[in-house]
Amino acid sequence: MVSANIIFIVLAAFFWGVSGGIAGVLLEDGWDPSVVSFYRGFVGLLFALIWLLFQQQHSGLKNSQLWFWSIIAGLGVAGNFTFYFISIEHANVAVAATLMYCAPIFVYLISFALKLEKSTAAKWIAIFLVMLGVVLLTKLYEISASSISLLGVTMGLLAGLSYALFIFGFKYAAPHGSPQAILSIAFSVLAIALILPAETDQVTSVLGSPDLPLFVALSILGAGLSFLLYIKGIKHTAPALASMIAMVEPVTATLFGVAVLGETLGVTQMIGMGLILVTVTALSVSSNRR
C-alpha cells in the first residue's frame, strides 16, 4: 500500500501539471510569462490568507524557523517560475523542462552531502531512469545544437536548483507551523518577487479579461490546492523521495497537452512516460515498506 503522504505529493504534482497546461493556454493567448506567474502566486496568497484568517490556531507565526524556511520556499518557487520561463525564451520548452526536472539530482546530491540519504546503486539507477524518461518525454534528442543557448541552459539549471530549494524550504517549514501560515509567507515572498518584472498594463487588464477564470483556475490548482497537498505530504517524506515522486508533473502536463491542446504523443514519449511512472511507483512502494 502507498502511504497517504505519497498520495498527497502525487496529487500536488498532478495539479502542477494541469496548471502548467492552463499556463500554456494563457501564454498562447498573448499573456506575458511574468504576469501568469504573478497571478498564480498572488491568488494563491489570497486563498492562503483567507484560510489563515479562519484557522489561526497553531499557525506558528511566532516561530522564527517557520519564517526562515517559508521565505526560502517562497524564493525557491519564485526562482523556479522566473528561471523556467527565461530558459524557454532563450532555448525552448523541451530543453527548459528537461533541465528543470534535473531537480531530483540536485536534491539527492544535497541529501547525500547532508547525510539525509544514503547513496546506493538503486537510487542512482532510479535517478538515471527518471531523467531518461524526461528526455524521451520532452524529445530533447530532436533539438539541434543551434537552438540551445548558454543562457537558456544556465537558466534551466537554475530553475532546477530553485525547484530543489523550495522542496527543502517546505520540508523544514512544515514541522514549525500550519500549512496556511507557510503558504501565506511563501506566496507573499513570491508575489513581491514577481510583481517587479511584470508588465503593469497586463497585470491590471487581467481583471477585465475573458481569461480571468483561467487565471483563477491556474491559481487554485497550481498554487493553493497543490501546495497545500504538497506541504501535508512532505511533512513525513524525505526531500529526495518527494522530488522523485513530483516527476508525475511533466507526465500530467504532457497528457493535458494531448487531451486539451490537441498535441500528439509519439512512441518514444510514451516509453519515457512509462519509465517515469514505473520508477516513481517502485520508489513509492519501496519507501513505504521500510
CA distances from 21 to 6, 14, 136, 248, 289 (A): 23, 11, 19, 14, 34
Tell me, what's the pLDDT at 119? Answer: 82
What's the per-residue H, E or C state across the chain?
CCCHHHHHHHHHHHHHHHHHHHHHHHHHCCCCHHHHHHHHHHHHHHHHHHHHHHCCCCCCCCCHHHHHHHHHHHHHHHHHHHHHHHHHHHCCHHHHHHHHCCHHHHHHHHHHHCCCCCCCHHHHHHHHHHHHHHHHHHCHHHCCHHHCCHHHHHHHHHHHHHHHHHHHHHHHHHHHCCHHHHHHHHHHHHHHHHHCCCCHHHHHHHHHCCCHHHHHHHHHHHHHHHHHHHHHHHCCCCHHHHHHHCCHHHHHHHHHHHHCCCCCCCHHHHHHHHHHHHHHHHHHHHHHCC
What percentage of the chain exceeds 70 in pLDDT? 90
d(CA 52, CA 181): 6
Q: How confident is the model at residue 76 (pLDDT cuts 50, 70, 90)?
A: very high
Tens of pLDDT, residues 207-232: 889 999 999 888 888 887 888 888 88
Condensed to tens digits (0 to 9), the pLDDT of residues 33-68 reads: 778 888 888 888 888 898 888 888 888 889 999 999
pLDDT digits (tens, 9 = 90+) for 112-163: 888 888 888 888 888 888 888 888 877 777 766 655 677 878 888 898 899 8
Q: Is the pLDDT of residue 290 over 60?
A: no
6-33 pLDDT tens trace: 888 888 888 888 887 788 788 778 888 7
Q: What is the pTM of this model?
A: 0.78
Side chain identity, residue 34: S
Cell of 228: 497545500
Question: Cβ atoms within 10 A of the Cβ of 196, count?
Answer: 8
Lowest mean per-residue pLDDT among 141-145, 271-275, 286-290: 286-290
**1: pLDDT confidence band, cut at 50, 70 and 90?**
very low
Return the pLDDT at 31. 85
Question: pLDDT tens, 241-262?
Answer: 888 788 777 777 777 777 776 7
